Structure 1
Amino acid sequence: MSKKPIIGITMGDPAGVGPEVIVKSLQEKEVYQNAHPIVIGDAKIIQRAAKDLNIKISITPKKLDDDLSQTSFGEIACVDLDLVPENLAVGEVSPVAGDAAFQYLEAAIQLANKNKIQAICTAPLNKEALQKGGHMYPGHTEILADLTQTEDFSMMLSSPKLKVIHVTTHIGLLDAIQKIKPDRVFNVIKLADKTLKDAGIEQPKIGVCGINPHAGENGLFGYGEEEEKIIPAVQLAKEQGINVEGPLPADTLFFRAQRGDFDIVVAMYHDQGHGPIKVLGLEAGVNITVGLPIIRTSVDHGTAFDIAGKGIVDEGSMLEALRQAIELAPK
């Protein structure tokens, strides 16, 4: 096996900006200096994206059983599943594209299970297209958990100034509050602690958000959700030696975390955690699925159908996702 990790890059929804951010990112020599990047998707769509970007690049088609450890800067190696037509409409929801995005990810997991790739880096998929394509998942995280038979997992967003891990993600707010339970909060605190310790932080400082304004302010707001759902989990985590504090008001916790008071924030629901990360800049955020048996990082933006095919997408988030996949991948 090559000393450099092999990173499988799934193309995401082929009608979105995924192919473009991949092509632009693979123009950076540092990626090839530190890894063997392998695109998993449709070679013809990668070639079309290069044309839209006015980039001349050689596309080398590969098969699933080929040796994937030989890549060179100046060409893009692509495990070519050949799932969509060359004239697939750009910037539109398509069942064909949604099904293809699922199959790219499924193939990447198969390769990871065979140790043919050491990490997966995902370009964005479109949830509507995914479900119209017959795959009833709310997003990448849930697909990965299902296909790897992982029960205890969470979405972590990472940026240079802030890390956030989520108790709930792609469900409505009322459903999220119902699903926030002490055991789930405790498990997410443990995942945050383990993930940062694995990354070299000896005693991570973890801040836990409340649900209500001012974290309920001792029962003044809400119906005792903090006391019922969060405080027991925080107390149990402390008993196990985890350096955790909460529940804390979210409006000040995120400020304190980016200032350096905490290494990671435990958010209770999707927008509570995503909002602060995205305010810091879409190009800086990376999505990491914590708890899986394989390394998976992702861009922290969507398919951006409104600019797909126009050659103007920013590749910063994909580059950062690749850097983190390379850093986390077993060598």
Structure 2
Amino acid sequence: MKVSIFDVAKKSGLSVVTVSRVLNNSSSVRQKNKEKVLQAMRELDYHPNASARSLARGKTGIIGLTLTTLHDSFFDAVVNEINDRLAEHGYYLALSISKSYEDAFHRSLFQEDRVDGVILLSPFDEDEYVSELKKKQIPFIMIDNSKKNPQVTSIIVDNFRGGYEATKHLIELGHTEIAHIAGPDHFLSSRERERGFKAALEEAGLQPYCIERGTFEISTGYHITKDWIASGKLPPAVFAGDDNIALGIMDACLNEGVRIPRDISVVGFDDQILASEFRPLLTTIRQPADKIGAMGVELLLAAISNTSTRNATVQIEPELIVRESTAPPQK
């Protein structure tokens, strides 16, 4: 015979209301009574129905998160931090891997009765996401959004500062001819990193060696670098828009016998896992995934509990990590 909440109440000698409050982690229950209820649950081997408890609270206990890919160790680190922090608060994380908001909503994950809140991690079609979530009155935040939007709560890394520090590092080593391979222009992060690159050069009275544009993929860095080598126009230093591009640059150089950092210095962005595994070790700009994930959970839970009444853009500072892929130019 299945054990019920009434059995727990009888066994503990307390009311059903008190048992219910213990199950829902209410702070109004005295510690002594809480211990009685927990002891009765153990003795009866009682396991509360999670769905019923969620319905009783008007909550699902689930947070939805959408992102475009799992093939990114930075995103992976952010998601892991979010998952761990949510678990501390009794929430489960549900992932949606979607290239567009239509895919996400057609899968029906982000519906009023299925999630308590949503985290958008580097979303495409973010205007559509914002419109749909506001219409459904689902609390949400954005991380690494592509546009500045004062109407929503978001977390961004200071990509301008990162691009500036990466380029300044090369300048301080003595480089005067510095190229940049940027990511797609529709990403705010790409535009801000390029803006930081230009600002550091302008401050030093320098002009860009060249600016190329591609995708945040190894193939972009590889093919552009192969073209530079073939045309005899390989720059002495490069700031890559992300670590994938940087690894593509390094791969092309190693295949062509170009020595790093003797012949070319390379700086990436993100500090993905391969940055500290590939040889030579990559100098890069670290995005603090732990801070981003923790702050994301804090802001979303505040929105869910209505303790936050206004939208905010939180900017997190990146960090230059100097390794083996940069050095002063050879005379």
> Structure 2 length as normaliser, TM-score?
0.27
Structure 1 or 2, whichever has the larger Rg, is 2
> Structure 1 length as normaliser, TM-score?
0.27
